[in-house]
Structure 1
């Protein structure tokens, strides 16, 4: 069945006139004359067969029907606007919304971003940083780099980028002054992740040690902050290999022990199942994988 809707231009004029209770002000915002606005409103009223405004002494007031129609039109146009934005975001070929853990952003993405943009000027990146899981569809993400166990969300597509292992790391100065050994780790200040709270217990237990938490231990919710505290000599933390290779190569941190614990957590690229993996998404994903899988070549 054919449905007849009022012209969008008339609806915009109606909303502005209703908001300001003035044809003159509506005309000013739309760059029209007051008589043009009055003509559009009259045409809208004729189409509806309803009086939307009560005109008295060159003043206008919404009628009860006009107030009701104002609410209807506002809701409809807001939904149309937000739906249009969602459509553009979902099917845009070259605007990518990406979430990446902060440490990977700092160590890998930002230092190489200019090169990526020079090679791919058609791709507009919108980056956000977080270590936590997000729902790509709900949070309107095109791709997410995720640290954790294998995703079980059936609404996503994922691919493994890196297996990870953990080993104690510290500053050179801390090692020389404290001389920690694998057996005496818990006698020193350990820097813990409040996100993966049992990481030290898992590591020490794996090498037949006895885990003992100290009151002087430090708990942080950011892996970047953990590395920074460690580099400043505040204690010992667990470094994720191979992600930490760049900082080890630069001498910011050291790993005194050969022992490392293979982790069930890994780095994954996560994509929306409801959206086609576009060439832009694939280009960015391949670039990030190259950075993370070959850190020694950076």
Structure 2
């Protein structure tokens, strides 16, 4: 990379922020002459005038104003990265980002076992569904739901594609409109997440007609969707990974035999240069172990 000296960039940023060589010098604990010398050297290195020197002040040229944003962004990125590295070395904590629904329904119920096995290792869990910028965010490892194609990142399959199937509260099986066959869904509220197409696809695969796949309650989080189903507010399409604990505990029951194969899976993702990081190695190996534990695999269709 073709870069000017870091000290000259720091001097330029400070002088541009204050529009004063003297104030920049106070901030950097050097003399005004040293700041002037650093900026002159930077201008010569670039072959571009960055400041206009007036009698008692300085102002940025148009090019200097444009260059200031790039320099400021670069210094902030360098500062943030340095702080993250120092904090990581000092605290030893691992920051994990994952989807809110996966955190609540799969990861959180298992973290107590991690604490028992690794009591000296701290984990910070961040529930988020936005794309992680490892260069700017204090995140070590993410778990995401997708196709596994994450350019320039190390990606490993954690859990295979979900199956989708109707689930509801056991209380709904005892009501005036028992759910004995898929056609009985016409008498019940359908619960949706943001992917409303899922119910349409499931009904088509089950060859069910007369049920409006677009009506019902919609939630923007799969965890809330399953909570509503447990409370008897309707019938949801449960994802196998997220619903398995509640099925095994009897809080939900699986309806019918028809399952719809999902097209996404859960992946562990982190920067490739971190593959030998001890904390990441420990946590990813534990995740793989937990992925093999079956809490009861899906409860059978109720009689």
Does the alignment reach a TM-score above 0.5? yes
Q: CA RMSD in A?
A: 4.3
Kindly state the Cα deviation for residue 246 of structure 1 after the two structures are TM-superposed.
1.5
Match of 2:300 in 1: none
- The partner residue of 1:41 within 35, 38, 49 is 35
Determine the C-alpha separation between the residues in 2 that align with 1:63 and 1:216.
62
Match of 1:198 in 2: 197
Residues 264 and 207 of structure 1: is their aligned pair in 2 closer, same or farther, counting only changes over 3 Å? Answer: same
- Residues 38-60 of structure 1 show CA distances to partners (whole Å, capped at 9, x for unaligned) of 2313433675688967474xxx3
Match of 1:61 in 2: 57
- The partner residue of 2:17 within 16, 19, 24 is 19
- Residues 120-164 of structure 1 show CA distances to partners (whole Å, capped at 9, x for unaligned) of 75566463432x8x587799776443335x445675644252343
List aligned pairs for 1:179-198, cutoff 5 A: 179-182=178-181, 183-195=183-195, 197-198=196-197
Unpaired segments ≥5 residues, structure 2? 297-303
Asked if 1:82 corresponds to 2:77, the answer is yes
Does the 8 Å CA contact 2:148/2:265 hold for their aligned counterparts?
A: no
- Residues 81-129 of structure 1 show CA distances to partners (whole Å, capped at 9, x for unaligned) of 4257569879x89775644232220123234446546717556646343
Higher Rg of the two aligned structures: 1
Determine the C-alpha separation between the residues in 2 that align with 1:138 and 1:21.
30
Residues 124 and 235 of structure 1: is their aligned pair in 2 closer, same or farther, counting only changes over 3 Å? Answer: closer
Kindly state the Cα deviation for residue 13 of structure 1 after the two structures are TM-superposed.
4.3
- The normalised TM-score by structure 2 is 0.69
Asked if 1:169 corresponds to 2:167, the answer is yes
Residues 245 and 70 of structure 1: is their aligned pair in 2 closer, same or farther, counting only changes over 3 Å? Answer: closer
Residues 193 and 145 of structure 1: is their aligned pair in 2 closer, same or farther, counting only changes over 3 Å? Answer: same
Determine the C-alpha separation between the residues in 2 that align with 1:24 and 1:231.
67
Determine the C-alpha separation between the residues in 2 that align with 1:51 and 1:217.
62
Does the 8 Å CA contact 2:202/2:260 hold for their aligned counterparts?
A: no
Does the 8 Å CA contact 1:95/1:126 hold for their aligned counterparts?
A: no
List aligned pairs for 1:79-228, cutoff 5 A: 79-82=74-77, 85=80, 98-113=96-111, 116=114, 119=118, 121=120, 125=124, 127-130=126-129, 134=131, 143-148=141-146, 150-151=147-148, 157-159=155-157, 161-177=159-175, 178-182=177-181, 183-195=183-195, 197-210=196-209, 212-213=211-212, 216-228=215-227
Kindly state the Cα deviation for residue 244 of structure 1 after the two structures are TM-superposed.
1.6
Residues 39 and 121 of structure 1: is their aligned pair in 2 closer, same or farther, counting only changes over 3 Å? Answer: farther
Query: Secondary structure of the residue that 1:243 maps to in structure 2?
Result: helix
List aligned pairs for 1:250-261, cutoff 5 A: 250-255=249-254, 257=255, 259-261=257-259
Does the 8 Å CA contact 1:155/1:273 hold for their aligned counterparts?
A: yes
- The normalised TM-score by structure 1 is 0.70
Determine the C-alpha separation between the residues in 2 that align with 1:143 and 1:229.
30
Kindly state the Cα deviation for residue 184 of structure 1 after the two structures are TM-superposed.
0.9
Residues 174 and 41 of structure 1: is their aligned pair in 2 closer, same or farther, counting only changes over 3 Å? Answer: same
Residues 281 and 174 of structure 1: is their aligned pair in 2 closer, same or farther, counting only changes over 3 Å? Answer: same
Kindly state the Cα deviation for residue 229 of structure 1 after the two structures are TM-superposed.
1.6
Query: Secondary structure of the residue that 1:269 maps to in structure 2?
Result: strand
Residues 124 and 62 of structure 1: is their aligned pair in 2 closer, same or farther, counting only changes over 3 Å? Answer: farther
Query: Secondary structure of the residue that 2:211 maps to in structure 1?
Result: coil
Determine the C-alpha separation between the residues in 2 that align with 1:154 and 1:16.
36
Residues 145 and 208 of structure 1: is their aligned pair in 2 closer, same or farther, counting only changes over 3 Å? Answer: same
Determine the C-alpha separation between the residues in 1 that align with 2:136 and 2:35.
40
